[in-house]
Structure formats: C-alpha cells, structure tokens
Amino acid sequence: MQESINQSLKPITTEINDNQNLEIGGCDLVELAQKYSTPLYVLDEATLRGICQNYKQAFSSYEKVNMMYASKALCTMATSAILSSEGFGFDVVSGGEIYTVYKAGVDMSKVLFNGNNKSVDEIKLALDLGVGRFSVDNFLELSLLNEIAKSENKIANILLRITPGIECHTHEYIQTGHLDSKFGFDLTQVDEAVSLILDEYKNLNLHGLHAHIGSQIFETQVYHDEIEILVKELSRLDEKFGLKLDEINIGGGLGVKYTEKDLPPSAFEIADVIIKSLNASVEKYGIEPPTLFIEPGRSIISTSGVTLYTLGSSKQVPKGKKYVAVDGGMSDNPRPSMYQAEYSAQIANKPLDENIETVTIAGRFCESGDILIKDISLPQIEEGDILCVYNTGAYNYSMASNYNRVQKPQMVLVNNSQSDIIVNRETLDDLVAKDVIPDRLK
C-alpha cells in the first residue's frame, strides 16, 4: 500500500545543508532562529500541500467526497488559505474558527460547524456568514438553532452527530465515539430527534449523520465498524420515516508519527478500508451511495510543523537525570503535560554529531511537570544550541497559553528557501492590552 506523509517523522523537505545545519523548506533552521528568535513555530508548505494531495488521491475512487480540514488542530488565516486552495472545506468548532476561515476568504458553504455547546452568538454568526452545515450535538441545540434560524427567516442545513459506541485504542481524553461521551446523540435518542425535526423544527433541514471516533488512530478496523453503523442507521431511518438522508460524516482521527515507534496507517490504507466498507454497506442495506465527509486534522498539519527552541541552563542530578532547559515549554506545547505525549528532536546546528548523552528537555515554566521530552539521546550540548522538535504542527499553537505571562511564539511559513511570518510574536503590550484597572484602584 502506498505511503503517505502522515507516516513521516519530519517534514518532507528536511535536509542537512552545506552549513551542516538542518534546513526545512530550503531555509536554514539556525538562521531562522537567529532572524525570528525562539521559541519559533515553523510550518513547511510543501509538506502541508503534499498530505492534502495524498488524501485527495487516496479517496479519488469514491465520486462523492468532501474533504473537511479539522480546524481545531491549527487555525490561522494563512493555513486556511492554503487548505482552501487545495480544495478542502473546514470543520470548525467555535466562532473564532468560523471568523478566521471567513477572513481567509474561504467559501463558507464548505464549512461545517461542530461542537457540543454552541452559543447563541456563534450560531447567529454561522447563519449570517452562510456556514454550509451545522453538526447538531444535542436536543437543546436543535431547539435553539431552529428558533434562531426562524427569527432570521433562514433554513439551517444540519447533520445529527451520534455516538456510535466505538472505542479506539487512544488516550482516554481523545476518545469521542464511545457511549459514555459528552458528544452527540446516543443511538437510542435518534428517533426522538428526527421526529422533532420532521414535526416541529421546520427551519432545520436534515441531510445525514455525523460521527467521530477519536484521534491519533492507528487501527483501520474502527472505520469499517463506524461506517457499518452509520449506513445501517440511514437505512433504518428511511424505513421508519421515509427519510432519504444522503450524507455521512465519519470525522477524522488518523494518527501521525511522533516517534520512531509510532506506526500509523497511511491515508491510502484508511481510504481503502473506508471506501470498500462504504460500498459493501450501501449494497447490504440497499441505499443510494451517500456523500462522504471526512475530517482529517492532525494528520493534515502535524508533520509539516516543527518548533525551534534555544537551549539554556542545565542541571545534573547526582546519580540521576540531566535536565536541559529550553526557552519555551508547556505554554507553547501543553501536550506532554496533558497527554504524556512523546516527541522526537534534533540539535539543528549539530545534526551530524554523534548522540553521546541522554538528557531530559525541560521547559521554562513554574511547574515540575513542564517536561517536553524525557530521556532523549543527543550530541554534546551547549548553551545556545538550537533544538528542533518535530511534528508540532497540530495542537501546539492551537492549545498555547500565556501561562506565567509569557508571550505566545511567532509562526513562519517556509517554502522554496523563503520564510514568511504568518503569526506575529505576541508583545508585552499584547499581554496587558485587555487588562483594566478600575478607577477606584488608581
């Protein structure tokens, strides 16, 4: 089976240049660190576009496919513009993501608004900007969306999000398809929801069903199981209500390679399972082939991103670990602290040097749990070395914080030896811009 870029540890343009430094997108990483300072998010355009093209090729044999990028992985105007130019729509989960893709010039009819507790303002914004689909998560949202759509004399096109009862072998906090989940209608609630839509909620137009089974998925069988459940449910709803639903959204979740031990399937492998399962299920249950929505996020953006840090202080614990601190940490990458996530890294200015010591990379923040990488083998390190941490495109910037009142890093896009700022580094004035001192305290 053909490989895809989500199976690569590093961006596809990663090389060692004549300066004997790492480069990505034709840009020397050490020079990028000097020019833009660190911590620095670096995004490789060729890798991002390459995985988009992998997905489109992988699913090309199924005629009715809508590729929807899961914006929560990384949402900026520049990345949205790139993904839109590659033919992707967008799965968004907040007013902020809706507004970002809108400002990037995205065709809003290709946007689906997901989420388990959408606010009135967010629903109004989505309706006003012409979002193409709402994935409705619960009974309150059904009522609220119908009420708002009615008040604006609009019809909201919707999918029902269901929990299919499938658990994938991933971290507990990123399993979303099992029965005990905050997301979606239980299968026993679907008939009640459909009856309300048909009988009472005349400003809602139901097109199909949506399910999402998790994230960082390495198993392909779960997609087969999910599709079987969704298609069977379409057939059952047709039989009971005479309802010809013609869309299924199976979410995303394909895993990526954070370390050498990670062996995710390729986009081509999951496409093969999904398409074969869909064709078989359609035949089994006697329905017309539905339009397939798929929502990759991490597997689209993660491999294209790296984060650069400057090494600082170190501490050798007597008869214990050696800690080496960087100028970032849990505020720009909270995943190791939250999920015990593991990463791989190299010294960007010493990629050819032999790895001779094992160290633990510690962040700069006031938490003992602020550890980025445990027990990594590196060359002899010195203060001022540039550390390149791989596969940080997904959920690093998007989950970043201002903990300890530290500014969020800059992000640059690299391609053909050119670097462009796509997110400016926050300033100290940015940090206090929203603060207010009441007059009585002055």
pLDDT tens by residue, 233-272: 999 999 999 999 999 999 999 999 999 999 999 999 999 9
Residue 135: which of 111, 160, 153, 170 has the closest Cα?
160
The Cα-based distances of 349 to 20, 273, 399 in angstroms read 7, 42, 28
Q: Do domains 5-43+305-432 and 45-301 have the same CATH topology?
A: no
Question: Domain 45-301 belongs to what topology?
Answer: TIM Barrel (3.20.20)
Q: Would you say 120 and 143 are in contact if contact means Cβ atoms under 8 Å apart?
A: no
Q: How confident is the model at residue 166 (pLDDT cuts 50, 70, 90)?
A: low
pLDDT at res. 179: 47
Rounded to whole angstroms, what are the CA distances from 145 to 94, 123, 136?
Answer: 15, 7, 9
Asked whether residue 353 carries a pLDDT value surpassing 50, the answer given is: yes
pLDDT of residue 330: 96
What ranges in 136-291 are assigned the alpha helix state H?
Answer: 139-151, 190-199, 221-241, 267-285
- What percent of the chain is modeled with pLDDT above 70? 96
For 170-218, what is each residue's pLDDT tens digit?
433 333 444 445 678 999 999 999 999 999 999 999 999 999 888 889 9
- The set of catalytic residues is 366
| Domain residue ranges in the chain | 5-43+305-432, 45-301
Calculate the average pLDDT of the chain.
94
Q: Which two tokens stand for residue 268?
A: 């081509």
Instruction: Report the alpha-carbon distance of residue 389 to residue 101 in Å, rounded.
Output: 28
Question: Looking at the DSSP assignment, which residues form a beta bridge with residue 88?
Answer: none
What is the mean pLDDT of the segment spanning 117-138? 97
Task: Quote the pTM value.
Answer: 0.94
Position 441 pLDDT exceeds 70: yes
b vs e for 71-91, b when ≥16 Cβ sit within 10 Å of the residue's Cβ?
bbbbbbbbbbbbbbebebbbb
Phi, psi of 137 (to 5 degrees): -100, -25
At residue 164, the pLDDT reads 83
Residue whose C-alpha is closest to residue 146's, from 183, 193, 99 = 193
Q: Please compute the mean of the pLDDT values over residues 94-109 and round it to a whole number.
A: 98
The CATH architecture to which 5-43+305-432 belongs is Beta Barrel (2.40)
Segment 52-86, tens digit of pLDDT: 999 999 999 999 999 999 999 999 999 999 999 99
Cα separation, 192 vs 177, in Å, equals 20
CA gap 175, 332 in Å, rounded: 23
For the sheet with 15-16, list strands across it: 15-16, 22-24, 27-28
Q: How far apart are CA 45 and CA 420, in angstroms?
A: 11
Q: Percentage of the chain with pLDDT > 90? A: 91
